[in-house]
Amino acid sequence: MLELLPPPPTDPLWDLTAEYAADERPERLNLVLGVYRDAAGRTPVMAAVREAEIRLAERSASKEYRGLSGNTGFNRALVEMVLGAGDGAAGRAAAVQTVAGSGALRLLADLICRTRPGTTVWISDPAYVNHRPILEAAGLRVRPFGWVDAEGGFDAAGVLRELSAARRDDVVLLQGCCHNPSGVDPSPQDWAALADLAVRDGWVPFVDLAYHGLGGGLEADLAATRMLAARVPEMLIAVSCSKNFGLYSDRTGCAIVLGASGRAVRHAETTLQNAARTLYSMPPEHGAAVVTTILEDERLHALWRAELDVMRGRIAANRTDLTTHLSALGCEAQARSLARQKGMFSMLPLSAEQMLRLRRQFAIYGTTSGRINIAGIPAHRIPFLAQGIAAVVLGTGTGTGPGVDAGAGEGARTRQSPAVSSMP
């Protein structure tokens, strides 16, 4: 049977990670994955998470099966965190714990498909690399709309113009903050205009939250989602705890639905449970238990918020520092776009060829679209990164390492199946 398999496509980010792992140049710098690294280049376990884990281990709670919605305390806590406490939008929400943000995206895509097969979901261009594959795997149609203008800012007029073609039966997938890959977010006025359009034309907003707390602060990063939730009758929200709790490998997330009637919300919740049942039955408990322990304990909650602020501050400082270095080296366009963007990622105005030169000559790994992970730069490597960028922009410098094969693209591997320690 397996002999019949045609050669499958591979994931470009995985391939690039493998290429990085095989690169033996000591100065190599991995800016591909959406992972936070501290000043020493490590991805630490947050102190609030460690303390919650110790408490859970001491309590040695049972590992008996959870229900189909997973950890219901976790679901309640996440609804409150995302939508705010009280009787507002949270009062017409249902939530199901999922296998991280990706699992939430997939379950909600299944919900859309079970409601109306073949629904069109609009996604930004550029989009998070896994948006289209997840939606299409669930049987949905995908239609892209532009996101960034010629100057590298949010293309408000273009987005509103393109989305005015979205119909009542359509769904529009929007990243709630810190847009991946562009780092370009709508202003509060732009978000209000998007909400006006959704209300006028009746399409359903589907908000993907993966970086809340890492852009302008937790409340600021959730403001657009809360505003939309207050204005539209129906909404879908995929929440990831991978980045802001540092629970990448614990696969912790939540799918939230907002409906206009209690009946619709109950049906949606059961539909999500049914979809999960046929995929993996129940989500893993550990990460959800950790998050619940943190959010339900005043001191741990405050500790987590403080740590999140430190992470956010470090990302912002990296951005400022790199901007200053690039500006001093004469890379004004790159400096300007960095300064305008927000969150873990930035998209540098560099061509695919320039990104490949960075990789070949300087062992600096970003994607060929120009995306680099700002949160992944150890502070002391910023001058090195700026000099590499300046060299490819200004056409100077030759780099230090032997480099990978000159023809290597996103899909190339330099060694067979090297160990890969993490994925985006």
**Residue closer to ligand PLP, measured from CB, 164 or 422:** 422
By CB under 6 A, is residue 210 in contact with ligand PLP? yes
In the chain, count H helices and then E strands. Answer: 14, 11
Contact with ligand PLP (CB under 6 A): which of 18, 94, 96, 100?
100
215-244 residues near ligand PLP, rule: CB under 6 A: 240, 242
Stretch touching ligand PLP by CB under 6 A, among 96-104, 164-172, 323-331, 393-401:
96-104
Query: Alpha-carbon dihedral of residues 222, 225, 227, 229, nearest 10 degrees?
Result: -140
By CB under 6 A, is residue 185 in contact with ligand PLP? no
By CB under 6 A, is residue 283 in contact with ligand PLP? no
By CB under 6 A, is residue 250 in contact with ligand PLP? no
- Cis peptide before 12, with omega less than 30 degrees from 0? no
**Residue closer to ligand PLP, measured from CB, 142 or 333:** 142
What single-letter amino acid sits at 217?
Answer: G
By CB under 6 A, is residue 30 in contact with ligand PLP? no
By CB under 6 A, is residue 102 in contact with ligand PLP? yes
Measured CA to CA in angstroms, residue 115 lies from 140, 165, 255 at distances of 11, 21, 16
Contact with ligand PLP (CB under 6 A): which of 152, 253, 259, 287?
253
14, two tokens? 């995985």
User: Which of 350, 371, 338 minimizes the C-alpha distance to 31?
Assistant: 371
Q: How far apart are CA 220 and CA 212, in angstroms?
A: 8
Stretch touching ligand PLP by CB under 6 A, among 100-108, 268-276, 279-287, 409-417:
100-108
271: part of which helix (H) or strand (E)?
Answer: helix 262-279
**CB of 342 within 8 A of CB of 187?**
no
**Residue closer to ligand PLP, measured from CB, 175 or 367:** 175
- Cis peptide before 181, with omega less than 30 degrees from 0? yes
**Residue closer to ligand PLP, measured from CB, 187 or 249:** 249
Contact with ligand PLP (CB under 6 A): which of 30, 71, 180, 318?
180
By CB under 6 A, is residue 34 in contact with ligand PLP? yes
Task: Give residue for tokens 């959406």.
Answer: 34
Q: How far is the CB of 344 from ligand PLP (least distance, A)?
A: 8
**Residue closer to ligand PLP, measured from CB, 228 or 390:** 228
Task: Give residue for tokens 């951005």.
Answer: 319
Stretch touching ligand PLP by CB under 6 A, among 43-51, 94-102, 294-302, 376-384:
94-102
Sign, CA torsion 354/374/225/251:
positive
Q: How far is the CB of 241 from ligand PLP (least distance, A)?
A: 7
Task: Report H helices in 27-90.
Answer: 47-59, 72-83
Task: Report H helices in 35-148.
Answer: 47-59, 72-83, 100-115, 131-137
114-133 residues near ligand PLP, rule: CB under 6 A: 128
| Interaction pattern, residues 289-318, with ligand PLP; x per rule: CB under 6 A | ------------------------------
Stretch touching ligand PLP by CB under 6 A, among 99-107, 199-207, 314-322, 398-406:
99-107
**Residue closer to ligand PLP, measured from CB, 102 or 337:** 102
Q: What is the length of the chain? A: 424
Q: How far apart are CA 354 and CA 17, in angstroms?
A: 19
By CB under 6 A, is residue 175 in contact with ligand PLP? yes
**Site residue total, ligand PLP (CB under 6 A):** 13
154, two tokens? 């949010």
Burial of 104 (0-12, 13-18, 19+ CB in 10 A): buried
Contact with ligand PLP (CB under 6 A): which of 23, 185, 208, 410?
208
Stretch touching ligand PLP by CB under 6 A, among 83-91, 97-105, 214-222, 259-267:
97-105
Measured CA to CA in angstroms, residue 161 lies from 62, 145, 194 at distances of 53, 9, 11
Q: How far apart are CA 251 and CA 240, in angstroms?
A: 8
Q: How far is the CB of 221 from ligand PLP (least distance, A)?
A: 13
Q: Which parts of this chain interact with ligand PLP (CB under 6 A)?
A: 34, 100-102, 128, 175, 180, 208, 210, 240, 242, 253, 424
